[in-house]
Amino acid sequence: MQEQAIAWRNAGADIGVVPTMGALHAGHDSLVARARRENQRVIVSVFVNPAQFGPNEDFATYPRPFDQDRARLEALGVDALFHPPVDQIYPPAFKTRVDPGPLGDLLEGKSRPGHFGGVLTVVLKLFNLTQPKRAYFGQKDFQQVVLVRQLVRDFGLPVRIVAVPTVRYPDGLAMSSRNAYLDASQRELAPVVYRAITEAAKAFTAGETDPARLEGLTRERLAASPGLAVDYVAVVDDTTLGRPGRAIPGSVLAVAVKLGSIRLIDNVVLGAERL
Ligand code: AMP
């Protein structure tokens, strides 16, 4: 992959890279479409990265419909699909790991220790193997975008990180490969997450800027759905992930819940989205 990527760059083409774990859906398509608009060459990686899964997480059972993914990417007109075996990314002698620092321990990192170290390690390697001018990430995984931007800044990587808005089902549920785990009753319950955060976002637009009150509104709305356990609800600054004294346009309201053993995350940018 690296040789091909270097050849494209040497020929003057900009490369856009879309890192994924496969089980592709319309959210991924939207990243690919954006990458196609902005670059001469587009590489999509499909790699279920063992380093970002905890020991009790779903690495073994994560969906891997590879033939479908390949057909989907061909139809989208990508220039290359990078689907390396695990030991190409992590050969036996592999030792180095990126440490995301303190932001990696907040929010998702609190519930998923080591997750962002695994993410940043594979992202750094993918960037080196695919030589992107731009790399495309979903706003749904907002903390991931923050940490990848930090990686780029801290290590001086020549890559522009593009965050792409979350693609949703008509009922508001954010598309996710893990939605496949939801049974019918969980699937019916799941849109409450987006309803709860949009209600708080509307309260912000109507003048409520107290982070605790916005979080409280979200929690109240979620509490009305038994069967759904809140992991976190947090209003945070979009770069430091700290809690602002007052929410401002651009602050992010981020949520994680559990429906049985299935964890769902979502977020809204306050003051930025049509609700
Ligand atoms: P994944 O395959 O789940 O690791 O996701 C690969 C990329 O697609 C990540 O940057 C995700 O944030 C992004 N993504 C996942 N779901 C969505 C969605 N519903 N809308 C937009 N981007 C998404």
- Among 123, 140, 161, residue to substitute to test ligand 1 (most atoms within 8 Å of Cβ): 140
Which single residue is written with the structure tokens 């994924």?
A: 20
In angstroms, the CA 270 to CA 209 distance is 10
- Non-local (6+) Cβ contacts of 232 within 8 A are 107, 110, 111, 254, 255, 256
Question: Of 25, 112, 127, 137, which is best to mutate to test ligand 1, by the most ligand atoms within 8 angstroms of its C-beta?
Answer: 137
Closest residue by Cα to atom 7, ligand 1, is 20
28, 34, 43, 73, best to mutate for ligand 1 pocket (most atoms within 8 Å of CB): 28
User: What is the rounded distance in angstroms from the CA atom of residue 130 to the CA atom of residue 19?
Assistant: 10
Per-residue pLDDT of the chain (275 residues), as tens digits, is 999 999 999 999 999 999 999 999 999 999 999 999 999 999 999 999 999 999 999 999 999 999 999 999 999 999 999 999 999 999 999 999 999 999 999 999 999 999 999 999 999 999 999 999 999 999 999 999 999 999 999 999 999 999 999 999 999 999 999 999 999 999 999 999 999 999 999 999 999 999 999 999 999 999 999 889 999 999 999 999 999 999 999 999 999 999 999 999 999 999 986 66
Amino acid residing at 257: V
Question: Which atom number of ligand 1 is nearest to the Cα of residue 24?
Answer: 2
Q: What is the DSSP code (8-state) at residue 173?
A: P
- Token pair recorded at residue 5: 């990527």
Specify the ligand 1 atom closest to the Cα of 166: 20
Q: What is the pLDDT of residue 114?
A: 97
> What is the pLDDT at residue 275?
67
Which atom of ligand 1 approaches the CA of 18 most closely? 7
Among 26, 54, 275, smallest CA distance to 174 is for 26
Phi first, then psi: give them for residue 73, nearest 5 degrees.
-70, -35
CA 90 – ligand 1 centroid, Å: 23
Ligand 1, atom nearest to 28 Cα: 8
Place of tokens 């989208």: 76
Residue 272, pLDDT score: 85
245 Cα: distance to centroid of ligand 1 (angstroms): 30
Q: Output the ligand 1 site: residues, CB below 6 A.
A: 20-21, 27-28, 30-31, 137-138, 140-141, 164, 166-167, 174-177
DSSP 228-262: EEEEEEEEE-TTT-PPPSS--TT-EEEEEEEETTE
Q: Work out whether the CA dihedral 134, 140, 144, 150 comes out positive or negative.
A: positive
Alpha-carbon span 118 to 50, nearest angstrom: 8
pTM for this model (two decimals): 0.97
Which residue has a Cα nearest atom 13 of ligand 1?
138
Beta bridge partners of 35: none
Active site residues: 28
45 - beta bridge partners?
Answer: 19, 82
Residue nearest to atom 22 of ligand 1 (CA): 138
Q: What spacing in Å lies between the alpha carbon of 48 and ligand 1's midpoint?
A: 13
Task: Give the residue among 75, 157, 59, 67 at the shortest CA–CA distance from 112.
Answer: 59
5: closest CA among 191, 132, 175, 164? Answer: 132
Distance from C-alpha of 98 to C-alpha of 118, rounded to nearest angstrom: 8
From the list 200, 182, 193, 143, the residue with the least C-alpha distance to 262 is 182
